[in-house]
Structure 1
Amino acid sequence: MSGNVRLGAGMAFWGDSVRPAIEMVERGDIDYLCCDHLAELTMSILAKQRARDPSLGYTPDILDLLRGALPHCVEKGIRVVTNSGGANPRAAAESVVALCRELGLSGVRVAVVTGDDIGADIDDLVAQGVDFANLDTGEPLSTVRDRLTHAAVYTGCEGIVAALRQGADIVICGRVTDIALYLGPLVHEFGWAPDDWERLGRATVVAHAIECGGQATGGLYAGDWAGVDGLEQLGYPIAEVAEDGTAVLTKTPASGGRVDVGTVSEQLVYEILDPANYLTADVTADFTGVTLEEVGPDRVRITGGTGRPAPQTLKVNMGYRAGFVGEARFSYTWPDAWQKAQRGITFLKKRLERAGFEYTDEIVEYLGHTSMWGSRVPEPRDPDLPEVVVRYAARCPDQAQARKVFTESVALYNNGPAGVAGVGTRPPLKELYAIWPCLIPREHVRQSVELLEV
């Protein structure tokens, strides 16, 4: 392809506003709308939904987005690439096809990319020698095997490329990497080889710069958060990518926020760990040679960066049931709010002990003081504090144990220290899901593509 390929970041997570994507399609000049809906725990939620109802397991916000954006996409020839399929990409694609019919749009080709879900193959893979040891602790998978809810591989862009080459207008994936959503269109359009590490690495830098949506256009900007105008109608980033993998970053015209070296720099260092070895399913990218240059209002040129061969293993996102959380909150007022709070905590713990409470971990936080910083800041001992708000929470093996936390805290209302407030009503019990990070040799993973047409 001659000329640039214009990639728009439409979504950054499940629950993100769909309005920036719709406005980008309406007012921006883009070729692809790339939408990331998945985080680690999102997959656990989606897997739980799929287990309850086989027609669920994808992020339904893709339908809200396409309802507003798809007529413009069809009119302008904009193609959509999304991982909203989550734990059930086929169901997501069928829902999108139904939406197209509802909107009266015919001839729309919807591709389903699968291959990331290895949940049904785990035991066979273990028998073949894949140990799935926990990356953080080294523990064997057997410690949580019976509590697993899902197992999804962070796959690369090859399935997306294949879908686009088959003429897909909308590509719906499961757990592909955030980067793959952007690399796929570029590999397809420019015909890059799968081992063109330099271009793939350079383009990964660009993809990472825009993948988190508004974080590149002034959202969460620590450098000058008070000086960014229009956050309420923040425009999302657009990358105008050249054939060599360099790009100019901008945003939706007539939108809030800003694109400058500062906003882009903050996003570039977000979640990359080692900037010389940013591991993705498609390439090991090196950010250390990146240069940013402001070339106009809300326009930043990004050059430099390179890549090396992709890792021989792929990361697997497994989730497992990890018990329930029992929680209680209560407040104490001046005078002696801190001392009263300490007596209230002791009161609650002794009541729980008498009730035969079982738990594996607990935490005490003082909201507004230590809930963000923990033990790194002093406790709120000032005798003149007007109030202290306590949150006590414990990880419990089952609902019955978790329920005891609030039940035993209610007695604080008339049996504990004076000046209590805010115990409130019984909070809903929350089941905990935990992540089991591990690796799989890439030769065990194969993506496949199915094309549906409206």
Structure 2
Amino acid sequence: MSKTVRLGAGMAFWGDSVQPAIRMVERGEIDYLCCDHLAELTMSILSKQMDRNPEYGYTRDILDLLRGALPMCVEKGVKVITNSGGANPRAAAGKIAELAGELGVSGIRIAVVTGDDLRPQIDDLMAREVTFANLDTGEELATVRPRLTHAAAYTGCEGIVEALEGGADIVVCGRVTDIALYLGPLRYEFGWKADDWERLGMATAVAHAIECGGQATGGLLAGGWWDTPGLEDLGYPIAEVAEDGTAVITKTPGSGGRVNIASVSEQMVYEILDPANYLTADVTADFSGIRLEQVGEDRVRITGATGRPAPETLKVNMGYRNGFIGEVQFTYTWPHAVAKARRGVEFLEKRLARAGFTATDTHVEYIGRNSMWNDRISVPDDPGLPEAVVRYAARCPDETEARKVFTESVPLYNNGPAGVGGIGTRPPLKELFAIWPCLVPREYVVQSVEMVEV
């Protein structure tokens, strides 16, 4: 009988609900719980936290998840693969070990996979003519180098494979790719080589289908959201993977949502550019021949993907401090709500100019009209609208300038047009972070694995 490995998508982002993962361990009969906690902005936040406190820098929701799931994982032999380590995977592993002791769980091995953090190497690599040029603009890194918060390479699954070969029950990584969380267990279980491009490409399609959690089981479904059952109790996806990399996508038994061709196909086209050249750290995947087949209720078979050699470079996610945001929101009521709101914006802009306000960018939006569409949709002009909600925001070089936005808006209460409300109290200042995407030759990025015994 051919072997099948059951991979469960436990988390899709930092702050995702931990309950679907816990229920999956309870009822899903999975072999691995694969948890993705990281996004581009997340790494900036975690790096900022670590700078303030060297014991932070990881996503602490992994502790909430394991508090509910770890005893069952040990009982059922479910291994956990997570990139919750973020900017500080050693600290995350230490806290998981503490939690295991608190729960009375012993005899487990926690692996820490590092190597993605390039901050200590940046200047040396630049001396070796690694330019780190911005992929979007071509700018040189020197323009933002003093403001960098982190520099994390998107690494592949080799460290996860090594950790599992070393007997790890929990593998805590930094910025490995979303895909690597799933390819690592499959390479370990099936003995695939690092250059088994066809199977790795097929498995990458499977991993991509489930790595965003509820998006494959009815969440965000454009073609059928109105009759998707049980969104409040959405089950997360499980991939039953065969040795050739093909799989059946299903979900936790007894959970809400649905798995059908629509839900899986919408996820398949998410965040990819060229489906025939989907670049990952482990393989260049080709999704152009994918076939989806409904083989049962909440069961979709996925076949037809393949792969070619991995790129010679790895993408690096750098972040840098980019000023502060100053903002205010206010509402005008009928009659002439829009006209009064526009006059309120004019009032604010004139007061800001008089205060010597400095900003590199400003933005005005009418919520409910063009807050998502921006200037592609005109400002409303219906004099009969019952209310108009306007938000003014500015990108400012420092906190002093950002504070002026709210300060200069407060006089609207008494001095501006009649019928205003909703200004509220001074909002907390928000520091802005920007992403610097770039590349590094893969030979300069080496993963390492450490073990923690509980």
Q: Secondary structure, in 3 states, of the residue corresponding to 1:171? A: strand
Instruction: Provide the residue aligned with 2:110 in structure 1.
Output: 110
Instruction: Provide the residue aligned with 1:439 in structure 2.
Output: 439
Matches within 5 A, 1:152-301: 152-301=152-301
For 1:22, the aligned partner's letter is: I
For residues 169 and 77 of structure 1, the distance between their equivalents in structure 2, rounded to whole angstroms, comes to 8
Matches within 5 A, 1:52-451: 52-451=52-451
C-alpha deviation, 1:396, in angstroms: 0.3
C-alpha deviation, 1:147, in angstroms: 0.4
For residues 2 and 259 of structure 2, the distance between their equivalents in structure 1, rounded to whole angstroms, comes to 26
C-alpha deviation, 1:259, in angstroms: 0.5
Residue by residue, what CA displacement relative to the aligned partner does 1:282-331 show, whole Å, maximum 9, x if unpaired? 00111110000011111110011111111111000111000000001111
Q: Secondary structure, in 3 states, of the residue corresponding to 1:391? A: strand
For residues 342 and 25 of structure 2, the distance between their equivalents in structure 1, rounded to whole angstroms, comes to 55
Q: Secondary structure, in 3 states, of the residue corresponding to 1:80? A: strand
Q: Secondary structure, in 3 states, of the residue corresponding to 1:428? A: coil
For residues 76 and 34 of structure 1, the distance between their equivalents in structure 2, rounded to whole angstroms, comes to 15
Q: Secondary structure, in 3 states, of the residue corresponding to 2:20? A: helix
For residues 142 and 35 of structure 1, the distance between their equivalents in structure 2, rounded to whole angstroms, comes to 35
Instruction: Provide the residue aligned with 2:32 in structure 1.
Output: 32
For 2:440, the aligned partner's letter is: I
Residue by residue, what CA displacement relative to the aligned partner does 1:202-225 show, whole Å, maximum 9, x if unpaired? 000000000000000001111000
Q: Secondary structure, in 3 states, of the residue corresponding to 1:413? A: helix
For residues 225 and 108 of structure 2, the distance between their equivalents in structure 1, rounded to whole angstroms, comes to 41
Q: Secondary structure, in 3 states, of the residue corresponding to 2:67? A: helix
For residues 97 and 147 of structure 1, the distance between their equivalents in structure 2, rounded to whole angstroms, comes to 34
Query: Which stretch has the larger CA shift, 338-347 or 177-186?
Result: 338-347
Q: Secondary structure, in 3 states, of the residue corresponding to 1:13? A: coil
For residues 70 and 424 of structure 1, the distance between their equivalents in structure 2, rounded to whole angstroms, comes to 44
For residues 295 and 389 of structure 2, the distance between their equivalents in structure 1, rounded to whole angstroms, comes to 50
For 1:387, the aligned partner's letter is: E
For residues 378 and 141 of structure 2, the distance between their equivalents in structure 1, rounded to whole angstroms, comes to 39
Q: Secondary structure, in 3 states, of the residue corresponding to 1:400? A: helix
For residues 310 and 11 of structure 1, the distance between their equivalents in structure 2, rounded to whole angstroms, comes to 26
C-alpha deviation, 1:377, in angstroms: 1.8
Number of residue equivalences:
454
C-alpha deviation, 1:378, in angstroms: 2.5
For residues 30 and 339 of structure 2, the distance between their equivalents in structure 1, rounded to whole angstroms, comes to 60
Residue by residue, what CA displacement relative to the aligned partner does 1:357-413 show, whole Å, maximum 9, x if unpaired? 011000000011100111122321111111111100000000000000000000111
For 2:330, the aligned partner's letter is: F
C-alpha deviation, 1:150, in angstroms: 0.7
Q: Secondary structure, in 3 states, of the residue corresponding to 1:198? A: helix
For 1:249, the aligned partner's letter is: I
- List runs of 5+ in structure 1 lacking aligned partners: none
Query: Which stretch has the larger CA shift, 413-422 or 51-60?
Result: 413-422
For residues 264 and 2 of structure 1, the distance between their equivalents in structure 2, rounded to whole angstroms, comes to 25
Q: Secondary structure, in 3 states, of the residue corresponding to 1:25? A: helix
For 2:194, the aligned partner's letter is: P
For residues 400 and 203 of structure 2, the distance between their equivalents in structure 1, rounded to whole angstroms, comes to 51
For residues 378 and 356 of structure 2, the distance between their equivalents in structure 1, rounded to whole angstroms, comes to 32
Cα RMSD (Å) = 0.8
For residues 87 and 437 of structure 1, the distance between their equivalents in structure 2, rounded to whole angstroms, comes to 17
Q: Secondary structure, in 3 states, of the residue corresponding to 1:10? A: strand
For 2:377, the aligned partner's letter is: V
Query: Which stretch has the larger CA shift, 336-345 or 242-251?
Result: 336-345
C-alpha deviation, 1:337, in angstroms: 1.3
Residue by residue, what CA displacement relative to the aligned partner does 1:49-105 show, whole Å, maximum 9, x if unpaired? 000000000000001101111111101111000000000000000001111111111
C-alpha deviation, 1:341, in angstroms: 1.3
C-alpha deviation, 1:2, in angstroms: 4.7
For residues 196 and 118 of structure 2, the distance between their equivalents in structure 1, rounded to whole angstroms, comes to 28
Q: Secondary structure, in 3 states, of the residue corresponding to 1:274? A: coil
Q: Secondary structure, in 3 states, of the residue corresponding to 2:209? A: helix
Q: TM-score, normalised by structure 1?
A: 0.99
For 1:286, the aligned partner's letter is: D
For residues 419 and 453 of structure 1, the distance between their equivalents in structure 2, rounded to whole angstroms, comes to 65
Residue by residue, what CA displacement relative to the aligned partner does 1:235-289 show, whole Å, maximum 9, x if unpaired? 0000000000000010000111010111001000100111111110000111110
For residues 426 and 92 of structure 1, the distance between their equivalents in structure 2, rounded to whole angstroms, comes to 35
Instruction: Provide the residue aligned with 1:46 in structure 2.
Output: 46
Q: Secondary structure, in 3 states, of the residue corresponding to 1:424? A: coil
For 2:173, the aligned partner's letter is: C
Query: Which stretch has the larger CA shift, 128-137 or 338-347?
Result: 338-347
For residues 235 and 328 of structure 2, the distance between their equivalents in structure 1, rounded to whole angstroms, comes to 40
Q: Which runs of 4+ in 1 moved over 6 A?
A: none
